[in-house]
Amino acid sequence: MKTCKKNSPTYTIILIFFVVLVSNTILIPLLLVESCDPIDKEALLEFKRGIQDNWFQRLGTWVPQTDCCTTWDDVTCDPATGRVVKISLIGFWDEFGVDTAYGMEGTISPFVGNLTHLQIFNLRALAGDLHLDHNQLTGVIPTSVGKLSLLQNLFLDHNKLNGPIPSSIGRLTYLQFLNFGHNNLSGVLPYSIGKLTQIQSIVLENNMITGIIPKSLGNLKHLQVLEMVSNRLSGRIPKQLGNAKELKRVCYQGIG
């Protein structure tokens, strides 16, 4: 009986070819563990669920089957941990302010509070076309933002957010830049804002915020910019604000 030659070069080459083929198509994808942290992925998918209208499919790449760290637009992870460190979903912007743009209509899911490694959270101007006024990020700023304890930049300006600024904001002790301007926020400024000891800029212009400016702002030694015009604030700028030696700009006009 004739047997095959066991170690002929042709067989070896064919064998190598198959090993390479199999490992590339089957083994490597099986071994590749998704880098996105499952808690963060769930939080991002919940955020997406809260957006009912997404004209331009800005969140189109945010799908469960893929890795949020490698294939999702506008999401950045720390490669070492797979934790999401940055979300930047800024709307179109031009020198006149907000341009006609894609719009997102919906609310900010409380699940964003689970993104506990987030450093930059930017949802500026998702309202899109201000003239047509039919695309907007509405609802309240969820209390759970207070869980984002590593946050440095929080930009939610030029949307249609309403309700009060949650006092949990005082837990964001690394926060440097806060912009909630051009929304419809109401209620008083929480006293806890005085705990944001790293803050450099607070922009709240064009809202419906009432009450007085809390004295606790005197604790903000690194404050450089405080913009509060077009609100319903009353009283004077507290003299404690003199502690902020780096203060360059204060825009405030009290009513009554």
**Applying CB under 6 A, which residues contact ligand NAG?**
39, 110-111, 113-114, 144, 160, 162, 184, 186, 208
In this complex, which beta carbon is closest to ligand NAG, that of residue 46 or of residue 99? Answer: 46
CB of 15 to ligand NAG, least distance (A): 47
CB of 189 to ligand NAG, least distance (A): 15
In this complex, which beta carbon is closest to ligand NAG, that of residue 39 or of residue 237? Answer: 39
Sign of CA dihedral 37, 40, 44, 46: positive
In this complex, which beta carbon is closest to ligand NAG, that of residue 165 or of residue 220? Answer: 165
CB of 138 to ligand NAG, least distance (A): 7
- Element holding 49 (H helix, E strand): helix 38-49
CA 240, CA 175: separation in Å to the nearest integer? 20
CB of 103 to ligand NAG, least distance (A): 15
In this complex, which beta carbon is closest to ligand NAG, that of residue 114 or of residue 179? Answer: 114
Structure tokens belonging to residue 245? 């030696």
CB of 57 to ligand NAG, least distance (A): 25
CA 19, CA 41: separation in Å to the nearest integer? 34
CA 86, CA 119: separation in Å to the nearest integer? 6
In this complex, which beta carbon is closest to ligand NAG, that of residue 208 or of residue 250? Answer: 208
In this complex, which beta carbon is closest to ligand NAG, that of residue 223 or of residue 228? Answer: 228
Whose CA is closest to 103, among 145, 160, 146?
Answer: 160
Instruction: Please count the other Cβ atoms lying within 10 Å of the Cβ belonging to residue 222.
Output: 15
- Element holding 31 (H helix, E strand): helix 28-31
- Element holding 21 (H helix, E strand): helix 9-22
CB of 54 to ligand NAG, least distance (A): 20
CA 178, CA 200: separation in Å to the nearest integer? 8
Instruction: Please count the other Cβ atoms lying within 10 Å of the Cβ belonging to residue 122.
Output: 19
